[in-house]
Amino acid sequence: MSKYFAEPFKIKMVEPIRVLTREEREEKIKAANYNLFGLDSDDVYIDLLTDSGTGAMSSEQWSGVMKGDEAYSGSRSYKNLINSAKDIFAYEYIQPVHQGRAAEKVVMPLLLGPGKYAISNMHFDTTRAHVEIAGARAIDCVVPEALDTVSYSPFKGNMDIPRLKELIKEYGKENIGVIIITVTNNSAGGQPVSIENIRQTAEVARENGITVYIDAARFAENSYFIKMREKGYADKSIKEIAREMFSYADVFTMSAKKDAIINMGGLIGVKNDGEFFESVKANTIPFEGFISYGGLSGRDLEAMAIGLQEGVDINFLRYRIGQMEYLADKLEKEGIPFQSPVGGHAVFLDAKKLLPHIPYYEFPGHTLAVELYKEAGIRSVDIGSYMMGNNPDTGEQIESEFEFTRLAVPRRVYTQSHLDVIVEALIAIKKRADEITGYRITWEPKILRHFTAKLEPIKK
Ligand SMILES: *Cc1c(COP(=O)(O)O)cnc(C)c1O
């Protein structure tokens, strides 16, 4: 049992949350057509829908909000943000934007176009979308261990280097516009990428004259995993590790809603190519606003400047990843299956194993998510066949490789007791697992159906 590393903060402000009765929850989820996106957040007790933009800001950040300089140009908050980001990433050029996908919208058209390809350990969905909007195609190239949910491997988020070399040969190096390293590998379950793997990826890219791009949403969590798991890094600080990681890349985009612990914001970094940065600025102005605010208020820039530094604090990270490990250890002890080892921001429950009698077309991941809400007011999300949707050509339901229910944990928001509530709910569900029945869709839109589809329980 890993020791719970107690919160390295005390609580100054509280936000009440409500526990509805089981009957009330049954009514609410029915009224939401059994779609968790349809629930009011006031009717949710513990909200694990996402860790993006849901973190709790510190007293330092809130006082930064009051000090925010709202000048259109030359703002003090802008300078503070640039200095803070340069200190962490050691890049010459930094551009704020309003969130991660805005950074992708600015940068992708500069690297990609029709006939080009982006190769990544795994593209996050908005990253893939912006690759495609730029006219290019996205290829995922993660190590095979990522697909094995049971066996231990320290860096399941890594790029598959032999396959990367093959892909470059197959498609032609002149057609690969960019190689994207996503840290941590979000789509593979928040799994980390090793420094060794980043270095090797960069080497292959350099030999072929291809730009190296880090999708940096969870760079601090990734640095912490490197410190814990990679030989030679135990004594290095998180900042030292982060700087080394970024030294192998040419450019990064970042959603600051994750590891910079703010509710809205993003960044673009360019290591040293001044000409490229001029193009970044030229796109930023029409898309996001003038370069010294990039779609954000001065107060947001100030909160991001502070949050970036708090996000790399070793005590914060020990507590943050410690929470994930505490939750994972308890689940393991109770025989509740999940993708192991646990990632940096979420537990991916293996609903296929917990509800083996529910076939993929009756959505085990979604069924478990609904059950968690009914059991304890916990909101999670399906990452499985329900999310995958139908084959656009045949209209048939796609069978997903996994049927996960994702529990994403917001930063600095929930305590050990909340984690215990989650575990207790899952123990209760496991006991009556074979009585639980799946769902059928009664209405769905053509694309991205999981946000708005209507469902009903299948009666036995
Ligand atoms: C969240 C995320 C993004 C997109 O960022 P937004 O701030 O949500 O626009 C891109 N890549 C990864 C890996 C992410 O986790």
Name the β-bridge partners of 9: none
Mutational test site, ligand 1, from 219, 255, 261, 383, max ligand atoms within 8 Å of CB: 255
pLDDT digits (tens, 9 = 90+) for 102-111: 999 999 999 9
Active site includes 217?
Answer: yes
The structure's pTM equals 0.95
Active site includes 123?
Answer: no
Q: Residue 124 Cα, ligand 1 centroid: separation in angstroms?
A: 7
Q: Residue 372 Cα, ligand 1 centroid: separation in angstroms?
A: 26
The one-letter code for the residue type at 400 is S
Q: Residue 67 Cα, ligand 1 centroid: separation in angstroms?
A: 27
Cα-flanking dihedrals φ and ψ of residue 191, to 5°? -80, 140
Domains of the chain: 22-51+314-457 (3.90.1150.10), 59-311 (3.40.640.10)
- Distance CA(125)–CA(104), nearest Å, equals 11
Q: Residue 319 Cα, ligand 1 centroid: separation in angstroms?
A: 23
- Is 226's pLDDT higher than 90? yes
Sheet of strand 346-350, all strands in order from the earlier edge strand to the far edge: 346-350, 404-408, 381-383
CB of 217 within 6 A of ligand 1: the answer is yes
**Residue 309: is it exposed, middle or buried by C-beta count within 10 angstroms (0-12/13-18/19+)?**
middle
| 99 three-class SS | coil
Section 284-291 average pLDDT: 97
- The residue ranking higher by pLDDT, 458 or 2, is 458
Q: Residue 27 Cα, ligand 1 centroid: separation in angstroms?
A: 33
With tokens 């982006």, the residue in question is 118
From the candidates 130, 293, 450, 453, which is the catalytic residue? 450
Section 78-93 average pLDDT: 98
Active site includes 9?
Answer: no
Which residue minimizes the CA distance to atom 3 of ligand 1? 100
What atom in ligand 1 is closest to the CA of residue 256?
Answer: 7
pLDDT attached to residue 2:
61
CB of 121 within 6 A of ligand 1: the answer is no
Section 268-282 average pLDDT: 98
Mutational test site, ligand 1, from 49, 50, 52, max ligand atoms within 8 Å of CB: 52
Which residue minimizes the CA distance to atom 4 of ligand 1? 100
pLDDT attached to residue 401:
85
Q: Residue 266 Cα, ligand 1 centroid: separation in angstroms?
A: 9
Section 45-72 average pLDDT: 98
- Is 29's pLDDT higher than 60? yes
What atom in ligand 1 is closest to the CA of residue 265?
Answer: 7
Q: Residue 432 Cα, ligand 1 centroid: separation in angstroms?
A: 36
Q: Which residues lie closer than 8 Å to 88 by C-beta, 6 or more apart?
A: 239, 242, 243, 308, 309, 312
pLDDT digits (tens, 9 = 90+) for 411-445: 999 999 999 999 999 999 999 999 999 999 999 99
Active site includes 450?
Answer: yes
- Distance CA(232)–CA(237), nearest Å, equals 12
From the candidates 42, 125, 148, 420, which is the catalytic residue? 125
| For the ranges 275-284, 336-345, 392-401, the one whose mean pLDDT is highest | 275-284
Q: pLDDT band at 350, cuts 50/70/90? A: very high
- Is 55's pLDDT higher than 70? yes
Active site includes 215?
Answer: yes
Average per-residue pLDDT for the chain: 96
CB of 186 within 6 A of ligand 1: the answer is yes
- Distance CA(223)–CA(121), nearest Å, equals 17
Whether the CB-CB separation of 407 and 422 falls below 8 Å is answered with yes
From the candidates 116, 258, 271, 330, which is the catalytic residue? 258
Active site includes 235?
Answer: no
Secondary structure (DSSP) of 276-318: HHHHHHHHHHHHH--TTTTTS-HHHHHHHHHHHHHHT-HHHHH
From the candidates 6, 71, 72, 451, which is the catalytic residue? 72
pLDDT digits (tens, 9 = 90+) for 361-394: 999 999 999 999 999 999 999 999 999 898 888 9
pLDDT digits (tens, 9 = 90+) for 124-178: 989 999 999 999 999 999 999 988 888 889 999 999 999 999 999 999 999 999 9
CB of 367 within 6 A of ligand 1: the answer is no
